[in-house]
Amino acid sequence: MDKIQKTILMLAGDFTEDYEVMVPFQTLGVFGLQTDVACPGKKAGETIKTAIHDFEGDQTYTEKPGHRFLLNATFSSLRIENYAGLYLTGGRSPEYLRLNDEVLDIVRYFMKLSKPVAAICHGVQILTAADVVRGRRLTAYPAVRPEVEMAGGIYIEKEPDESVADGNLVTSPAWPGNTAILRDFIALLGISVSW
């Protein structure tokens, strides 16, 4: 495999789902991709707190404290034209990140240029707030379905370990789908894998 010179922007915030930031960050690195993780209001070298969401037979997921994740990019210094793709993490952070106009503008930029975009779990809330899902096929955590449909998206029900690819957009319902969403995202970046 040739050395790849692509950089990915990952947006995350406090109480992002632990596996939905840690696993993609590490996996993208395996493929030689630099992944810059940024959070509005924070600088490189600062941390975000993550949360572990688990499925233990209750009516919804449970939440436990996760790790501290070290940010390696400063949100206010981002040059989005330098990024080949965008990755939106899930958990609780999307519910407030979607209120940030700069975050929404970043999403619109990537979608307008048809650059690869991945959103997992509640990360889809940022897409709906940016008004970029109209007519698009996507999935999300089931509780986000009404938002997807109100934003004009076509919600596709999937198992937690599956993903949906539609053009430049790939989505998955939850962290068990990390393998599927990352496989699709890597393909959108033009990286072929033959082990």
Q: What is the pLDDT of residues 133-177, one digit of tens each?
A: 999 999 999 999 999 999 999 999 999 999 999 999 999 999 999
Please check whether residue 194 lies inside any domain of the structure.
Answer: no
Give the pTM: 0.95
Q: Among candidates 84, 101, 75, which has minimal Cα distance to 12?
A: 75
Count the domains in the chain: 1
pLDDT at 61: 85
Please check whether residue 123 lies inside any domain of the structure.
Answer: yes
**Residue 194 in this model has a pLDDT that exceeds 90:** no
List beta partners, residue 171.
119, 164
Please check whether residue 193 lies inside any domain of the structure.
Answer: no
Going by DSSP bridges, is the β-strand pair 47-54/62-70 parallel, antiparallel, or unpaired? Answer: antiparallel
| Structural domain for 43, as ranges | 7-188
User: Within 10 A of 109 (CB to CB), how many other CB atoms are there?
Assistant: 15
The catalytic site residues sit at: 121-122
Please check whether residue 69 lies inside any domain of the structure.
Answer: yes
Q: What is the pLDDT of residues 81-110, one digit of tens each?
A: 999 999 999 999 999 999 999 999 999 999
CATH number of 100's domain: 3.40.50.880
Please check whether residue 19 lies inside any domain of the structure.
Answer: yes
CA distance 47 to 85: 22
Please check whether residue 2 lies inside any domain of the structure.
Answer: no
Please check whether residue 149 lies inside any domain of the structure.
Answer: yes
